[in-house]
């Protein structure tokens, strides 16, 4: 069943327990193919075996998420704190080649990030401070494509999936953002890294495997293998993954389980570089969605 949520403000906080003290954080790590993946595990105090959300960041990001200028706080770090206040734990990870994790960013592929996410789910199964049987996944941008693929592939139960401005069709978005000449050069580079400038400024180097992956990974088909509830948040002002809300709708059209499409006049970064209001709204609505499905 598909429900499209109206674009009227809805800030709902669902508490999972009694009044909570401040959350605790610890840095954790696990190995993937001999390389270290680093994450922050945030646990709400006074809550025994809480449900847990796995957070997956976007392209060239890190586990705290991009910094919101208005509050000088990373988007995922802010979300984790808000959800901890609801009695929900979280694990936010740096994909290999990003943040504090091992590896070089030029070796990044979507497939590699899916492997990191799968390993994170395995790690949570043995983490005694959380209830991994009540697991949800949240992914932003490219992390949304990873989250969709993880949900469709893992043998562990995932109770809910939330995709924020997700990458839906990598084979279409990558040449639109990087330029078709860059994609052609990347595909022809015979495994070597090519260097190019991103539209928003920084230089980046990526190897052939990244570009090949954009044609091999299909988040729509991956998510279709997941039977659980899905929440998709998209912005009509998104110029990166566009057109919207058509791309968000596409994910849910082929998803056979319950789905919600949340549409706002926001950009790809959820208006986070302008203000914090839309980010906070999305954090709250996502927390409610997760809480409803991990009972």
Tokens representing residue 243 in the block: 């057109």
Is the N-terminal amide bond of 243 cis, ω within 30° of 0? yes
Domain borders along the chain are 2-169+218-293, 174-216
Tokens representing residue 73 in the block: 């706080």
pLDDT tens digits along 199-230:
988 999 999 999 999 999 999 999 999 999 99
Confidence of residue 295 (pLDDT cuts 50, 70, 90): confident
| Contact (Cβ atoms closer than 8 angstroms) between residue 196 and residue 263 | no
Q: In sequence order, what DSSP letters do the residues of 134-174 get, joined into one string? A: SEEEEEETHHHHHHHHHHHH-SS---EEEEES----HHHHH
Count, residues in the chain:
295
Q: Phi and psi dihedrals of 90, rounded to 5?
A: -155, 150
For the chain, percent helix, then strand, then coil, each to nearest 5? 35, 25, 45
Mode of pairing for the β-strands spanning 194-197 and 67-68 = unpaired
Q: Is the pLDDT of residue 39 over 70?
A: yes
pLDDT of residue 200: 87
Task: For residue 38, list its beta bridge partners.
Answer: 29
pLDDT of residue 21: 53
**What is the percentage of the chain residues whose pLDDT exceeds 90?**
90
pLDDT tens digits along 110-152:
999 999 999 999 999 999 999 999 999 999 999 999 999 999 9
Q: Is the pLDDT of residue 4 over 60?
A: no
Angle at the Cα of 146 from the Cα atoms of 279 and 293, rounded to 5 degrees? 60
| Contact (Cβ atoms closer than 8 angstroms) between residue 89 and residue 41 | yes
CA dist., res. 119 & res. 159, Å (int) = 17
| Contact (Cβ atoms closer than 8 angstroms) between residue 71 and residue 64 | no
CA dist., res. 119 & res. 31, Å (int) = 8
Alpha helices in the chain (DSSP H): 75-84, 110-125, 142-153, 170-178, 180-187, 208-216, 219-223, 246-253, 277-293
Average pLDDT over residues 287-291: 98
The verdict on pTM exceeding 0.75 is yes
* 2-169+218-293 CATH fold: Rossmann fold (3.40.50)
CA dist., res. 100 & res. 239, Å (int) = 29
pLDDT tens digits along 148-168:
999 999 999 999 999 999 999
The three-class DSSP label of residue 31 is strand
Q: Phi and psi dihedrals of 269, rounded to 5?
A: -90, 20
Question: Residue 193 contacts by C-beta under 8 Å, 6 or more apart in sequence?
Answer: 106, 205, 206, 207
Q: Which residue shows structure tokens 């401005």?
A: 165
Nearest residue to 162 via CA among 100, 73, 84, 90 = 90
Nearest residue to 115 via CA among 134, 93, 90 = 93
């Amino acid at each position: 069943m598909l429900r499209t949520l109206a674009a009227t403000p809805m800030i709902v906080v669902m508490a999972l327990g009694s009044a909570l003290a401040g959350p605790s954080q610890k840095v954790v790590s696990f190995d993937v193919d001999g390389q270290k993946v680093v994450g922050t595990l945030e646990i709400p105090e006074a809550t025994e075996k809480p449900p847990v959300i796995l957070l997956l960041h976007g392209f060239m990001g890190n586990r705290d998420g991009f910094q919101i200028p208005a509050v000088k706080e990373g988007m995922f770090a802010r979300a984790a704190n808000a959800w901890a206040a609801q009695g929900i734990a979280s694990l936010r990870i740096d994909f290999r080649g990003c943040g504090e994790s091992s590896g070089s960013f030029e070796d990044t592929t979507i497939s590699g990030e899916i492997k990191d996410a799968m390993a994170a789910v395995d790690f949570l199964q043995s983490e005694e401070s959380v209830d991994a049987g009540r697991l949800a996944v949240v992914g932003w941008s490219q992390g949304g494509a990873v989250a969709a693929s993880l949900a469709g592939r893992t043998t562990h139960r995932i109770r809910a999936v939330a995709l924020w401005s997700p990458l839906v069709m990598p084979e279409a978005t990558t040449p639109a953002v990087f330029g078709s000449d860059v994609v052609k050069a990347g595909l022809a580079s015979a495994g070597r890294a090519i260097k190019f400038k991103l539209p928003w400024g920084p230089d980046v180097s990526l190897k052939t495997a990244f570009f090949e992956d954009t044609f091999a990974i299909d988040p729509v088909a991956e998510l279709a293998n997941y039977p659980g509830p899905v929440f998709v948040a998209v912005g009509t002002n998104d110029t990166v993954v566009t057109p919207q809300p058509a791309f968000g709708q596409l994910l849910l059209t082929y998803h056979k389980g319950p789905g919600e499409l949340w549409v706002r006049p926001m950009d790809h970064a959820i208006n986070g570089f302008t203000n914090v209001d839309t980010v906070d709204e999305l954090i709250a609505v996502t927390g409610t969605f997760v809480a409803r499905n991990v009972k």
